[in-house]
Chain A
């Protein structure tokens, strides 16, 4: 299994398309950082809305590395599934398209081992992509903008998180995002089993994520009860929960707390269940599949 995993990782990281994702993330993060470096005040005014007219806003303090990282995560995490699908959707369909699948399956390894190795390699790729994003959006932002307390705008309030209370929340958020994106990877992986060309599963995955995201965002009571709780896209933004703090009776935020940890854990469990469902289905279907490519 370890040998197979090494082989799969070797193949992923020798493919030029793998680096498109790393390049795209670097470009997007740098674009946001440059924009905030030169015109961060306008952005802060925009997110604070009418509050800027009633409060004396310390723009220089708010615009720090933690804040920039939070902005980047909000802007980009919703788009990363496209980059994940690019590699995960290629895992089986790409091999079928190249004609190498028949060679792989005729080797003395079980199909289950092969699938598990491929899926694990995809998860590692997803993790590395997130680590790369974390490095650029957090470490580079801290280097460029310094650190201070993190201001998080919510729909009905402003959350202020002490600088000493921020870093662990980012680690937790990135870990959660890895699980969320692995869900997308497992969906692309499942769809990849059905196709002999990677375009199909990549486009299908992106389409499903877009449709489900739209459904998740729709404010229709019927869907709120019947559909939304079961869509994986409804739980993909659960990482934000790590930046919402519990408050005391006077409405003061309590450091080192999470407002609704059970909800965050529930969302994560639902995502994990989807991963098991998609990956398990992919393995079962692949085991029975006739390789005709």
Chain B
């Protein structure tokens, strides 16, 4: 069943095409990665799914219902964290959760709220004012609010922004838990390719408001396109030795500091072993992110590489 069906969606702001003729579908229990550079139109699309922004044209159906005509019924089944989880800072976590649970039409008991806070690890700080919370705690509270009404569809817009490594890992686990154990459909937008590669089952890449490609990660991700960068003390000599080995065809580029090879992901261990046997003094061995390379090849730019690899 299609949980989301978007067809020919466009949004123009003062003549600027933020989203342009975008169509995609999200199926039940998908972890749907929504990928694009900053300003590609991810947030605008998500805001249109949540009725924050009115489309200039196109249709959105969620759960088989038209979003415009069944807004309330649809939003009762949707939980979302949109960009930063901004909350009422002068209220406690418990009060924030209670307030948004009521807005979702729930009549909740204290135990239910505390259980929800327990799930995101905030039960002990339930009565603390949110202004004293760290970014990670706010993010967790935002998740608790998004899930309090047990929605079928969870939309997370840039959920790992501003989180420390532990927070990012927690978020990844939570998304996988929602999908695998609770059978929720999750839409995650991000510009962090590594994260998306680890959690998404299907993916949409957009650029300048238009769809570039959509499909399962397995379809999109070609393991043969794995890139590995090798730092060596003498790259010229190392390149000569590689050219005379079975890896010659894999060698793509030689720079002053590194060698770049393209190969199948499964061959990485063998390459490492062979380099040692060839007596090449390696100072660095960095398998590249294949999704990143794929993404950049699709969006046709390298100018934001630093941002994507961070």
Contacts and interface: CB of A to CB of B under 8 A. Distances in A.
Q: Do A and B bind each other?
A: yes
Interface of A: 3-4, 6-7, 10-11, 14-16, 98-100, 102-110, 288, 290-292
A105 B52 contact: yes
22 contacts: A3-B102, A7-B103, A10-B99, A11-B91, A14-B88, A16-B90, A98-B86, A98-B87, A99-B83, A99-B86, A100-B86, A100-B88, A102-B82, A106-B51, A106-B52, A107-B103, A108-B76, A108-B103, A109-B103, A110-B71, A292-B52, A292-B53
A214 B145 CA distance: 48
Given A11-B88, A14-B91, A110-B72, A102 B102 contact: no
A102 B145 CA distance: 13
Given A15-B90, A99-B86, A100-B87, A106 B99 contact: no
Contact of B75 (A4, A100, A106): A106
Contact of B53 (A3, A7, A290): A290
Interface string B82-98: 11101111110001000
Contact of B145 (A4, A10, A103, A292): A103
A106 B84 contact: no
Interface residues of B, number: 32
B99 A103 contact: no
Nearest to B86: A99
A290 B72 contact: no
B84 A291 contact: no
B197 to A, nearest CB: 28
Given A288-B54, A290-B52, A107 B88 contact: no
B186 interface: no
Contact of A11 (B72, B99, B104): B99
B105 interface: yes
Given A107-B104, A292-B53, A98 B75 contact: no
A100 B92 CA distance: 15
Contact of B100 (A99, A102, A107): A107
B72 A108 contact: yes
Interface string B193-211: 0000000000000000000
A107 B151 CA distance: 12
Contacts of A16: 90
Nearest to A105: B52
B37 to A, nearest CB: 19
Nearest to A17: B90
A11 B100 CA distance: 12
Contacts of B47: 102, 290-292
Contacts of A110: 71-72
B51 A105 contact: yes
B50 interface: yes
Interface in B68-122: 71-76, 78, 80, 82-84, 86-91, 95, 99-100, 102-105
A209 B71 CA distance: 39
Given A7-B102, A7-B103, A107-B75, A291 B88 contact: no
Q: Which 9 A-B pairs have the closest CB atoms?
A: A99-B86, A291-B52, A108-B75, A106-B50, A107-B103, A290-B53, A108-B72, A108-B76, A102-B82
Contacts of A109: 72, 103
A107 B104 CA distance: 6
A16 B47 CA distance: 31
Nearest to A97: B86
A169 B83 CA distance: 54
Given A7-B103, A109-B72, A290-B52, A103 B86 contact: yes
Given A3-B102, A108-B75, A291-B53, A103 B89 contact: no
